[in-house]
Amino acid sequence: MNAGILDFERKILELETKLDELRSLSKLQDTDFSSEIRKMHKKLNTLKRDTFSKLNRWQRTQLARHPARPYALDYIREIVPDFIELHGDRAFGDGPSIVAGFGTMDERSVMFIGIHKGRDVKEKMYRNFGMPHPEGYRKALRCMRLAEKFGHPIITLLDTPGAYPGIGAEERGQAEAIAHNLKDMASITVPIISVVTGEGGSGGALALGVGNRVLMLENSVYSVISPEGCAAILWKDQTKVEEAAEAMALTSRDMHANGLVDEVVREPVGGAHRDPVLAAHILRRALRRNLVELERLSKGELVKQRRAKFRKMGTFMEQPA
Amino acid sequence: MSWFTKKKIPLGKSERRGGVPEGLFLKCEGCGEMVYAAEFEANWRVCKKCGKHHTMPARRRIMLLIDEGSFEEADADMQAVDVLKFKDTKRYRDRIKSAQKESGEMDAIVCGNGNLDGYPVEIAAFEFGFMGGSMGAVVGEKITRTIERAVNNRAAVIIVSCSGGARMQEGAFSLMQMAKTSAALAELEEAGLPYLSVLAHPTAGGVTASFAMLGDVIIAEPDALICFAGPRVIEQTIRQKLPEGFQKSEFLVEHGFVDIIVKRDELKASIASLLRHMGTKMARRVSPANA
């Protein structure tokens, strides 16, 4: 998986290739390169740690959008191998940018709902690059209601550039679909855990993000508008993406420091795409821990806790200046 | 003019903005005709020639809808905080200051309670002249409190939206106001109280995609742009011109997302006649004559 290598990944990948070569060479020639290998391995780890602890917010955004990054279905299939997908909003269509269905996690049924970008060109087209149409959001809500009916918790995975801005989407009420989800998610009586796995693209992500717990993967971002959009509007210059990303404080660490998400979930060194199975495993552990905590709350407490959590968000002054 | 009981800023000051010069005549944004300013104001900023509904400052909007002498402003002193120390070509804190100066308002919304034809209502009206009516934490909080007061006082909620959407300078704090306000509306619904959403030109982005689209009844002013993504963004995405009238009030009625289009001079009467049917859980109506 070396599609779309990012600038700051290049040095690491070069060193990794060298290390591999040295390893195979040592096997072939039966010479002892072990001290060189050890040295290089150490160097590689230092380089990785250095690079990934120093990424700026725009680089972090690029990592969140990495073409090799695991998508919703990659996580879901790893976490619940018996995932059974459900389709359709029962009104217009399916909205394949969003996947939803039941799966079993530690012997309990869970409703998984995720925004899925798609891996190859064909799938990307089918998934509309993870930019949902209204029917996707309506399907998601329908499936949340279904989970609620049977008392099963809901886990939502958010990874979208944003809700799709197109003619059909507007005609079918993109705004209404998002708004409806925001309001109804506030009243659902089963636990909801939302995880930003990649791009948390504004209202298009939040429409599945009203959780009792909101988690962010380490290299994910969450923002009110894309850095490109922000640069175009406020700087009137689309190249000012780095400045825009810095200004918006969109990384998992920023969001956690600002009290807008509850937890940052660690990723394998170098990002989830370097070891998708491990990334899913770490996520699974975080989900399990949060589920166990939330399952102690009654229906009423769950609704109350979720509403109170979002009620507190926002900073302002009240005294006359 | 002591019409507003808790008014902080003289009305005259805020009336000066909204693209309306102080001269005797001004140009209609619809037909381009010169109109007599006093007459234009008396006609609630609707052009008598072409019927174009011009942007209206929040306090004028409240004056249009609320019975004279009954308005009591709430949270008048609430101000934005530059949490992110946001700076684009200009510092956010400077933008706030100049917007306050220009609009005469503390932020992009004016809220309070009053009577509408005698019905007890909690009203929130957007001030488009303040950073395009954008929603940050102040707007989100004031709307949420408006809804909460309605639940406590058994009043109807009326929100007049006129906004470009979420305020980018407050980053994800702005985004979360969508969830906060929508959750408050869930509580209003449980209380069985009515919410009338009035959409003025323009209503876009995160405002449309939260409380604006959640009215029990949604009323739009004629020819208002009401959208999630703005026309420019869509044109850039799909690389084609949009059809005439796309995302305008009439288009939304046609597609089932707006109940009625009401002209400004009929707005108060229309809301009153709706409240007659929707006020079973509301506190008692006072006789408008006694107000």
**pLDDT exceeds cutoff 70 at B284:** yes
A287 vs A40 pLDDT, higher one: A287
A128 vs A34 pLDDT, higher one: A128
A321 pLDDT tier (thresholds 50, 70, 90): low
State the DSSP code for B214: G
- Contact list, A170 vs chain B (CB under 8 Å): 227-229, 234, 246-247
Substitution target in B210, B228, B254 with the highest count of A β-carbons within 10 Å is B228
Averaged pLDDT, A190-207: 98
B7 pLDDT tier (thresholds 50, 70, 90): very low
Give the closest residue to B178 by CA, choosing from B168, B165, B192, B163. Answer: B165
B176 with A163: Cβ contact below 8 A: no
pLDDT of residue B9: 44
Distances (CA, A) of A73 to A32, A113, A140, A192: 43, 9, 15, 18
Averaged pLDDT, B3-24: 50
pLDDT in tens, B50-90: 999 999 999 999 999 999 999 999 999 999 999 999 999 99
pLDDT in tens, B95-115: 999 999 999 999 999 999 999
A317 with B89: Cβ contact below 8 A: no
pLDDT in tens, A254-278: 999 999 999 999 999 899 999 999 9
pLDDT of residue B237: 85
CATH architecture label of A62-311: Alpha-Beta Complex (3.90)
B180 with A179: Cβ contact below 8 A: no
A225 with B166: Cβ contact below 8 A: yes
pLDDT of residue B10: 44
**Of A163, A186, A236, which is closest to B228 when you measure between CB atoms?**
A163
Q: Token digits for B104?
A: 């005469």
Q: Which residues contact A136 (CB under 8 A, 6 or more apart)?
A: A89, A94, A95, A96, A97, A98, A115
Exposure letters A71-91 (e unless 16+ CB within 10 A, then b): bbbbbbebbbeebeeeeebee
Contact between B75 and B145 under an 8 Å Cβ cutoff? The reply is yes
B236 pLDDT tier (thresholds 50, 70, 90): confident
B175 with A203: Cβ contact below 8 A: yes
A203 with B227: Cβ contact below 8 A: no
Beta-carbon pairs below 8 A across chains A and B: 195
Give the closest residue to B105 by CA, choosing from B37, B57, B171, B38. Answer: B57
B249 pLDDT tier (thresholds 50, 70, 90): very high
**pLDDT exceeds cutoff 90 at B224:** yes
**Of B83, B177, B227, which is closest to A170 when you measure between CB atoms?**
B227
Q: Which residues contact A119 (CB under 8 A, 6 or more apart)?
A: A71
Q: Token digits for B146?
A: 């408006």
B22 pLDDT tier (thresholds 50, 70, 90): low
A27 pLDDT tier (thresholds 50, 70, 90): confident
Beta-strand relationship, B109-116 and B119-126: antiparallel
**Of A172, A255, A314, which is closest to B177 when you measure between CB atoms?**
A314
- Contact list, B205 vs chain A (CB under 8 Å): 203
CATH of domain B55-278: 3.90.226.10
d(CA A97, CA A125): 10
Tell me the shortest Cα–Cα distance from A174 to chain B, in angstroms: 6
ipTM over 0.90: yes
Name the least confident of A4-13, A70-79, A128-137: A4-13
Nearest CA in chain B to A183: B182
What residue segments make up the domains of chain B, in order of their start?
A: 1-54, 55-278
pLDDT of residue A30: 73
- Contact list, A307 vs chain B (CB under 8 Å): 183, 186-187
B8 pLDDT tier (thresholds 50, 70, 90): very low
**Of A165, A250, A310, which is closest to B234 when you measure between CB atoms?**
A165
pLDDT in tens, B181-194: 999 999 999 999 99
Give the closest residue to B112 by CA, choosing from B45, B44, B66, B163. Answer: B66
Q: Token digits for B177?
A: 């106001």
A175 with B212: Cβ contact below 8 A: yes
**pLDDT exceeds cutoff 90 at A34:** no
pLDDT of residue A33: 81
d(CA A303, CA A295): 13
Tell me the shortest Cα–Cα distance from B265 to chain A, in angstroms: 27
B179 with A255: Cβ contact below 8 A: no
- Contact list, A171 vs chain B (CB under 8 Å): 255
pLDDT of residue A320: 65
Tell me the shortest Cα–Cα distance from B242 to chain A, in angstroms: 8
**pLDDT exceeds cutoff 70 at A3:** no
B176 with A313: Cβ contact below 8 A: yes
- Contact list, B138 vs chain A (CB under 8 Å): 314, 316
Number of residues that this document lists for chain B: 291
* Percentage, residues of chain B above pLDDT 90: 86
pLDDT of residue B291: 46
Tell me the shortest Cα–Cα distance from B74 to chain A, in angstroms: 11
pLDDT of residue B15: 46
Contact between B132 and B125 under an 8 Å Cβ cutoff? The reply is no
B173 with A313: Cβ contact below 8 A: yes
Q: Which residues contact A20 (CB under 8 A, 6 or more apart)?
A: none
Q: Which residues contact A75 (CB under 8 A, 6 or more apart)?
A: A114, A157, A197, A279, A280, A283
**pLDDT exceeds cutoff 70 at A130:** yes
**Of A173, A178, A229, which is closest to B257 when you measure between CB atoms?**
A173
**Of A163, A234, A320, which is closest to B168 when you measure between CB atoms?**
A234
Averaged pLDDT, A144-151: 98
User: Can the peptide bond before residue A320 be classed as cis, meaning omega within 30 degrees of 0?
Assistant: no
pLDDT of residue A230: 94
Q: Is A150 exposed, middle or buried (0-12, 13-18, 19+ CB in 10 A)?
A: exposed
Tell me the shortest Cα–Cα distance from B15 to chain A, in angstroms: 22
d(CA B221, CA B219): 7
B289 pLDDT tier (thresholds 50, 70, 90): low
d(CA A282, CA A259): 22
**pLDDT exceeds cutoff 70 at B214:** yes
- Contact list, B173 vs chain A (CB under 8 Å): 258, 260, 313-315
pLDDT of residue B290: 52
A31 pLDDT tier (thresholds 50, 70, 90): confident
Averaged pLDDT, A4-17: 89
Substitution target in A141, A144, A170 with the highest count of B β-carbons within 10 Å is A170
